Amino acid sequence: MSARPGRGPFGGARDLPVRCAARGRTARPRAPPVHLGCGHGVHHCPGAPPSRAEAAIAPRVLFEQHPRLALDVDPAAVAWRTGALLRGLASLPVLLG
């Protein structure tokens, strides 16, 4: 794998052979990906601790306030956004109940 200086293969970082033995396959089971978002060492993100706290607290509070939260579409119909740098939900229709 090679890249021009200043460019990185971010979109395929989870598929590097050293990170995931099942790279390139869509079938499960697959090794859990290593999260690369907060950096390491001198490049470690100073916002990592607050973002981890939010990620731990937000789902609990959401389900406490909306105990009947449910997906409003068939799970197979959930649209995903894909790209070279990011992959995520295009939308997630839910019923707050």
Q: Identify the pLDDT of residue 4.
A: 58
Q: Identify the pLDDT of residue 84.
A: 78
Establish if 4 belongs to a structural domain.
Answer: no
19, 58: one domain: yes
Average pLDDT over residues 68-89: 89
pLDDT band at 92 (very low <50, low <70, confident <90, very high): very high
77, 91: one domain: yes
Establish if 20 belongs to a structural domain.
Answer: yes
Q: Identify the pLDDT of residue 37.
A: 73
* Residue indicated by tokens 């052979």: 17
- Which of the two residues, 87 and 75, has the higher pLDDT score? 75
95, 53: one domain: no
Establish if 1 belongs to a structural domain.
Answer: no
78, 48: one domain: no
78, 60: one domain: no
Establish if 42 belongs to a structural domain.
Answer: yes
Q: Identify the pLDDT of residue 72.
A: 95
pTM: 0.49
Domain range for 38 is 10-65
